[in-house]
Amino acid sequence: MSKALENMTKEQLQALVLEQHQKIQVAKKKVQATEQENDQLEKQIQATEQENDQLEKQIQATEQEVLAAQEKIQITEKKVQVISDEKEALLKKFQDMLEKFSSMKFELSQLRRLIYGSKRERFVSGTEDGQMSLPFDVETGSQEENSEATTEEVSSFQRRKRKNHPGRLALPDHLPVEEIIIEPEEDVTGLKCIGHEITDELEYQQAILKINRFKRPKYAKEDNEGVICGDLPSRPIDKGIAGPGLLSQILVSKYVYHLPLYRQAQRFKTEHQIDIPRSTMGGWQSSIANLIQPLYEVQKRQVLGQGYLQVDETPIQVLDPKKKGKTHRGYYWVVRPEKSLNIIASA
């Protein structure tokens, strides 16, 4: 090695020294990097140890909380047991009170029977404390006679016969009858019918709305002399869609059975799926009132022509057709003759 160095030139030696110096610098950097890595590892180890310490503290705290929760559960279970015992005791006490109440109720009914019952059900002993006796000496013989007379009187008592139950309500004869024949499920071929088991059932058939469509054929006369067509029958409301049956039903429901128009409209919509406005029914009502005006006048003359009348006057606010939103005072006069009740209304 020394001979090789001796043979080297100055430049070669300088290059060798620089190379070694560089290697030393690289080695120092590696050592420094290794030391830094060791420092970081030590810091990580310390942080891990701190985390482990914190975890241990948390575990200890959790264990303490679990122990406290177990103690609370045990205390709660004891309270629940105490409450259940108290509940059973209260139920038993309540049962005893119910029994006492029923017994006292029975005794009260017996006392009421003794005090307020009929004479044959009363019995008040004369040996009670503080009960005074009448100052009369009654002989034994007279007492026996009285007892015998009483016995004879009781023996002659006859119990009232109970009335027979009238039975099921008889159905009227004017109702239509729809016969439903129910044959046995077995084969009756060749058998003779000896009678019928009849069971009557009262049924209700809901009213129906129908459309009366009047079709009037039109015929052309010969030689273009014109067209002939049948005449429409008389109708309560000219050019109206309501028939006499529907109008009668609305008026009877309102004035006889006191069913307002809005309820009738609801009923038509629910039962027949048709919407008839209240305003329309009100217009029909006014038209029918004009039709029966002559009948009203005849009734009014007959009522006011009686010799004895009773009249009641009731004020009512009436809408004024001439002024919108205004009302005026109107009156209902109920006029009662001697034999019947009639209402004459005027506003």
pLDDT tens for the 347 residues of the chain, in order: 556 666 777 787 788 888 888 889 889 899 989 989 888 999 999 999 999 999 999 999 999 999 999 999 999 999 999 999 999 999 999 999 999 999 999 999 888 888 876 655 555 554 545 555 555 554 554 455 554 444 444 445 566 767 776 667 788 889 999 999 999 999 989 999 999 999 999 898 888 999 999 999 999 988 888 999 999 999 999 889 999 999 999 999 999 999 999 999 999 999 999 999 999 999 999 999 999 999 989 988 888 888 888 889 999 998 877 777 788 888 888 888 876 555 555 54
pLDDT at 152: 45
pLDDT at 287: 93
Cβ atoms of 316 and 331 within 8 Å: the answer is yes
Cβ atoms of 299 and 342 within 8 Å: the answer is yes
Q: Using one digit for the tens of pLDDT, what is the confidence trace for 156-200? A: 556 676 777 666 778 888 999 999 999 999 998 999 999 999 999
CA distance 347 to 330: 4
Q: What phi and psi, each to the nearest 5 degrees, are found at residue 249? A: -60, -45
CA 73 to chain centre: 44
Q: Using one digit for the tens of pLDDT, what is the confidence trace for 129-142? A: 555 555 555 455 44
Provide the Cα torsion 249, 253, 256, 262; round to 10°: -140
CA distance 57 to 5: 68
Residue 243 exposed, middle or buried by CB count within 10 Å (0-12, 13-18, 19+): middle
The CA-atom distances, in angstroms, between 69 and each of 43, 57, 74, 81 are: 38, 18, 9, 18
pLDDT at 243: 94
User: What's the whole-model pTM score?
Assistant: 0.46
pLDDT at 153: 47
